Amino acid sequence: MKALLRISSDITTKAPGTRARFTRALAKNLRDALAGAGVEARVTRDHVRLYLESEDERAVEVACRVFGIHSASPCLDEEAGDLDQLVERGVELYKDAVSTATYAVRSKVRGKLPFGSQ
């Protein structure tokens, strides 16, 4: 299981050096909390995000109890072959969840893909 951890907005508004120091400290605290709960997990970070990878389902629950973690969103690894395949997979995953609702998709493309975000 993989999860994107949203960190507290207080950290994201700090100066770059302070933000990096706080994010490092938060990642360390998260690793300590996971180890204390007996959960094997891998925590990685980038500019203002933390990523959690674990086989143990308790990892997200433990992460959400760490001060500075605002929320956890489960993630899926999907290969983006072409736009049609991506749309097909999205329909397969979310058809029932959005069948009675209106919604919008706002995409951001990271990396090189054979299609744009429009």
Tell me, what's the pLDDT at 62? Answer: 95
Tell me, what's the pLDDT at 118? Answer: 67
Measured distance CA(41)–CA(43) in Å, rounded: 7
Task: Pull the structure tokens for residue 88.
Answer: 């097909």
For residues 4 and 59, the answer to whether their CB atoms sit within 8 Å is no
- Taking only the tens place, the pLDDT of each residue in 82-110 is 788 888 888 888 888 888 888 777 777 77
- Taking only the tens place, the pLDDT of each residue in 29-72 is 999 999 999 999 999 988 778 999 999 989 999 999 999 999 99
Model-level pTM greater than 0.85? no
Tell me, what's the pLDDT at 117? Answer: 63
CB crowding 28-38: b at 16 or more within 10 Å, else e: eebeebbeeee
